[in-house]
Amino acid sequence: MQKRPLGRTGLQVGRISLGTMTFGEQNTEAEAHRQLDRAVERGVDLLDTAELYPIPPKAKTQGATERFIGSWLRESGKRDKVLVATKVVGRSDSRWFRDDGSKPRLDRRNIEEAADKSLARLGIETIDLYQVHWPDRPTSGFGAVPTRWKSPAPDADEVPIEETMEALAALVTSGKVRYVGLSNESGWGTMRYLAASERGLGPRVHSIQNAYNLLNRTFETALAEIALREDVGLLAYSPLAQGFLTGKYANGALPEGSRKALFDRQQRYERPGAAEAVDAYVRLAAEFGLHPATFANAFVINQPFVTATILGATSVEQLDRSLDAEDVLWTDEMQAAVDTIHQRVGNPAP
């Protein structure tokens, strides 16, 4: 698999990584282990998880994903083959994350507790990439790159980015974390983190994990230039737009066992214009002789500001289809065809 730099860490990672948020909800521990085995067999060397997972978040299942990865690391003996990335939740009303039942915040107490629990569940001594899952401050929309601005009222007790950075610095100094990154962050927030690190207030951020796919290219508006010039590469989640870009929901279809059938949480990808855009991209994939899942992932990994795409699957078969994107020769013709559709349909699912 082709490798790319992970920020300025000096590490190289494969341009396809494995997302794990189905482990513990849609996937059993045995199924999770099979996916992990296949992913590593095919060159994946970055595993992405979070204290929040699995999805949808529930007190009963929270942390199961990290535990499944931990049991695989222990049983497979492949800790030295992979980098492990996890995340600390941002400000939340969910009280089950912290031992004292308080609402999570991005301050030192919360971040230290979250990291210690993730380390225990994963069964490792150091987290390779520790990411802030979402900001402490209110934002205009989850994913932080809206196409229409809404002005959220600031919270009176927002944790300053500088304070969050100091907490992350303590984790790095202690050896519990190697490197740090962001997720669901805006251009403004990313530059504030970078400015804080330049003032010596904490470690440099090396990655940003935001949604990016054929239906949502808003990352390109401001964050792409930051990613390239500041070496804060994109770890792109939802490359298949939660399955919509496979075409499996076309014409109102509702496959048994699909995320939409189970949880009905995909409203982001059901906005006006989204179905038309999906149909156009699925047809385009067929014109190039590719499965739509392979085509959609190939688009993502061939953008210059992307460090890696984060695959999500519930079966090895689905995983293989997305991993096949590594073997696609992405051409100027393909990019031009995608851009032509995007000019017409825009970003219907930011």
| Interval 215-269: pLDDT, tens | 999 999 989 999 999 999 999 999 999 999 999 998 888 888 888 888 887 788 8
Give kind and range of the element (H or E) at residue 13. Answer: strand 12-14
Q: Which of these ranges, 115-124, 153-162, 166-175, 322-331, has the smallest mean pLDDT?
A: 153-162
For range 32-44, the mean pLDDT: 98
CATH architecture of 3-246+292-331: Alpha-Beta Barrel (3.20)
Q: Does the annotation count 53 as an active-site position?
A: yes
Query: Are 294 and 324 spatial neighbours (Cβ–Cβ below 8 Å)?
Result: yes
Q: Is residue 9 over pLDDT 80? A: yes
Residue by residue, DSSP assigns 150-216 as --PPPPTTPPPHHHHHHHHHHHHHHTSEEEEEEES--HHHHHHHHHHHHTTSSPPEEEEE-B-BTTB
Q: How far is CA 342 from the centre of its chain?
A: 22
Q: What average pLDDT does the structure give for the chain?
A: 96
Indicate if the pLDDT at residue 99 is higher than 70.
Answer: yes
**Identity of the residue numbered 278:** V
Domain limits, the chain: 3-246+292-331
**Three-state SS for 295?**
helix
Q: Give the pTM.
A: 0.96
289: alpha, beta or left, given left = phi > 0 and alpha = psi -120 to 50? left
Average pLDDT over residues 106-116: 98
At residue 285, the pLDDT reads 98
pLDDT of the residue at 255: 85
Under the banding of pLDDT at 50, 70 and 90, the label for residue 105 is very high
Q: DSSP class of residue 126? A: -
Kindly report, residue by residue over 176-218, the tens digit of the pLDDT: 999 999 999 999 999 999 999 999 999 999 999 999 999 999 9
At residue 144, the pLDDT reads 62
pLDDT at 201: 93
144-158 residue pLDDT tens: 677 888 888 998 999
Q: Report the share of the chain in percent with pLDDT over 70.
A: 99
What is the tens place of the pLDDT at every residue in 259-295?
Answer: 888 888 778 888 999 999 999 999 999 999 999 999 9
C-alpha distance from residue 330 to each of 231, 244, 280, 323 (Å): 23, 21, 18, 14
Please identify which of the residues 53, 179, 237, 281 carries the catalytic annotation.
53
